């Protein structure tokens, strides 16, 4: 596993990613999860059903603020695979504010990082 990170106090280039939404659901959907490519989505209402359809162990959520309830679970998989390698849990409160917990199985050619464009990368 490799970790890389970086920081600059100022930049002339600006952000490469769009700013996050305010977390409000509109028409029952939000648009922050990029599902480009071949991923197919499947929605389930049950954590037990989602656990049976994921390639990794899904957690029980015990520390979610009491004002938020699990609203839906979405499973994402490639067309030729039976089990999901990405799962998004959507929690919503009475004010229609949402937050997600997204879990993704990282493959050998995937990495997570921040601070591209001149970030200092060091082996640790």
pLDDT digits 0-9 by tens, 3-12: 555 555 555 6
pLDDT digits 0-9 by tens, 21-35: 555 445 444 444 444
pTM above 0.75, yes or no: no
pLDDT digits 0-9 by tens, 75-120: 998 888 888 989 999 999 999 999 889 898 887 777 776 655 665 6
pLDDT band at 121 (very low <50, low <70, confident <90, very high): low
d(CA 82, CA 114): 32
- The domain locations on the chain are 40-104
Residue 68: name the closest of 116, 25, 104, 115 by CA.
25
3-state class of 54 per DSSP?
strand
d(CA 53, CA 72): 15
């Amino acid at each position: 596993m490799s970790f890389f990170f970086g920081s600059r106090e100022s930049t002339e280039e600006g952000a490469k990613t769009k700013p996050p939404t305010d977390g409000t659901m509109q028409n029952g959907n939000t648009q922050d999860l990029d599902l480009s490519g071949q991923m197919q989505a499947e929605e389930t209402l049950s954590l037990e059903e989602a656990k049976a359809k994921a390639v990794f162990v899904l957690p029980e959520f015990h520390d979610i603020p009491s004002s938020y309830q699990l609203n839906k679970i979405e499973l994402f998989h490639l067309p030729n695979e039976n089990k999901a390698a990405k799962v998004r849990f959507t929690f919503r409160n009475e004010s229609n504010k949402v937050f997600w917990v997204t879990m993704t199985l990282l493959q050998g050619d995937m990495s997570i990082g921040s601070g591209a464009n001149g970030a200092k990368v060091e082996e640790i």
